[in-house]
Amino acid sequence: MIRLYKLLGLVLGAVAVILALFPFYWMLRTAVAPADGNALTGLSLIPAELDLSNFARAWDRANLGSAMLNGITVTLGILLLQLLTCIPAAYALARFRFRGAGVLLGLVLACLLIPSQATLIPTFVGLNLLGLGDTKIGLVLPFVTSAIGIFMLRQQMLSIPDAIMEAARTDGLGPLRTLISVVVPMSAPSIAAFSMLSIFTHWNDYLWPLLVARSPEIMTPPLTLAIFQNADTGFDYPALSAAAAIVTAPVIILFLLAQRHFVRGMAGPEVAG
């Protein structure tokens, strides 16, 4: 009986891994297909020939070099600001008692339930009134804080043992020093995990940049995929795949590098062990 379960588990795991990876493989598979426009019809699982020219074509046509740089600037800009706003907020909500704490926490959590599409148009109009449409600042600004970030970090900070906080106080550390030299280091796993989550989200964000970015100098990577679609002249599938692979690569590499920390950090408390 137990053997049967083990076997079932093994099969389930193997199937899940294959299904999870397959679309990525297929993206690469299409990207190395010959660029004769027949990418859709009957590709074999294993390519008979490799045509790497699609990558070069995609890179040039979509101006991916500049888009990738923009993506990095915008993603890191957002991350930095989010950390600057979320860490103190989480600290306040985790380690202080004050009037209105419950209401404010509710206010933060309710943000999770407001779809970004509902705020899209007014934010867009407002930013343009300030002259920030079609700028990198406009791409960053609406995301300066993150409800999920505050939530995750607060969970971690709640778990810091009181004794340690007490020790900090006896050492004469003020709230800010305590935050910087005690709370932040002890929340490192959650901070790392949230950072990854933020990077994934904003590197891949589509709807907001689609609305804000106009000039080629401002384009972020996902937007560049649109250039391969044209109703009059048709799609360029292999180049589109190649571009998609290039756009996807950086986050995957980052993820592979930081994978262990990410999983542990997502857990929040009790990770040091």
Partner 1 sequence: MRTKAIATASVLTAVALGLSACGTSTESAPANQAAATSAIDKCKPAESSIKLAFAPQGTPAVEHAKKVMEQKFPGLKIDAVAAQSGNYSDLTKQIVADSAVGKRPDLIMTGLGQLRFWTDTFNPATIDPATLPDGYQKQFLSAGKVGDKSYLAPFQISTPVMLVNKTLLADAGITDPASIKTFGQVVEVAKKVTEKTGKPSINIASDDLPDWFSQALVQSSGEKFVADDGSFGFDTPKGREAIGLISTLAKEKLALNVKMDDGQAQFVAGNLAFQMATTSRIAQVLKNAPKDLDWTPIDLPGLNGPEGVLPAGGNGWVVISEDSCKAAFSQAMVAEMLTKDASLLSSGKDYSYIPVNKLATEELLKGDNIAPQMRYAWTYNKALTVWSGFAGAQTAPIVDTLRTMLQQMGTGKSAEDAVPAAAKTINALLGK
Partner 2 sequence: MTTPVMNERPSLDQVVPGEGLAPQKPRAPKPSLTPYLLLLPALLAMLLFVYGPALLSLIGSFFIIPLSKGPWKFAGLDNYESVLGDPLIQQAAWNTLVYSVATIIPSMVLGLLLALLMERVGRMGWLAKTALILPMTANMVAMAVVFKWIFALQGGLANQTLAIVGLAPFNWLEEAETSLPTVILVGLWRATSLCTLLFMAGLTTIPGSIHEATAVEGIRGFAKLRTIILPMLKPTVVFVSVLSITGAAQVFEIVHVMTDGGPLGSSEVAMTAAQRVGFEYFRVGEASAMSFTLIAILLAIGIIGRGRSPKEES
Binding residues vs partner 1 (CB under 8 A): 36-42, 99-100, 124-125, 128-129, 133, 211, 214-216, 219, 223-224, 226-227, 229-235
Nearest to 239 by CA among 36, 67, 44: 36
Residue 128 site contact among partner 2, partner 1, none (CB < 5 to 8 Å, cut-off depends on kind): partner 1
59's contact among partner 1, partner 2, none, with CB below 5 to 8 A by partner kind, is none
Check residue 27 for interaction with partner 2 (CB under 8 A). Answer: yes
- Residue 257, interface with partner 2 (CB under 8 A)? no
Residues within window 194-223 making contact with partner 2, judged by CB under 8 A: 200, 203-204, 206-207, 221-222
Task: Give the integer Cα–Cα distance in Å for 56 and 184.
Answer: 43
Measured from the CB atom, the residue of 133 and 265 that comes closer to partner 1 is 133
Shortest gap between Cβ of 243 and partner 1 (angstroms)?
Answer: 12
Residue 133 binds which of partner 1, partner 2, none (CB < 5-8 A, kind-dependent): partner 1
Question: Residue 165, interface with partner 2 (CB under 8 A)?
Answer: yes
**Type of residue numbered 94:** A
269 touches, from partner 1, partner 2, none (C-beta below 5 to 8 Å by class):
partner 2
> Given the rule CB under 8 A, which of 50-58, 59-67, 130-138, 145-153 is the region that contacts partner 2?
145-153
Rounded to a whole number of angstroms, the minimum distance from the CB of residue 201 to partner 2 is 10
**21 is a contact residue toward partner 2 (CB under 8 A):** yes
By beta-carbon proximity to partner 1, the closer residue of 114 and 253 is 114
Rounded to a whole number of angstroms, the minimum distance from the CB of residue 225 to partner 1 is: 9
DSSP for the chain reads -HHHHHHHHHHHHHHHHHHHHHHHHHHHHHHTS-SSS-TTS---SS-SS--THHHHHHHHHTTHHHHHHHHHHHHHHHHHHHHHHHHHHHHHHHH---TTHHHHHHHHHHHTTS-HHHHHHHHHHHHHHTT-TTSHHHHHGGGS--HHHHHHHHHHHHTS-HHHHHHHHHTT--HHHHIIIIIHHHTHHHHHHHHHHHHHHHHS--HHHHHH--SGGG--HHHHGGGG--TTT---HHHHHHHHHHHHHHHHHHHHHHHHHHHHHHT-SS---
The amino acid at residue 40 is: L
CA dist., res. 34 & res. 125, Å (int): 44
Q: In the numeric block, which tokens belong to residue 140? A: 């960053």
Least distance to partner 2, CB of residue 100, Å = 8
- Residue 192's binding partner, choosing from partner 2, partner 1, none, with beta-carbon cut-off 5 to 8 A by kind? none
What mask, x for binding partner 2 by CB under 8 A, covers residues 45 to 84? ---------------------------------------x
* Site stretch for partner 2 (CB under 8 A), options 52-60, 72-80, 120-128, 129-137: 120-128
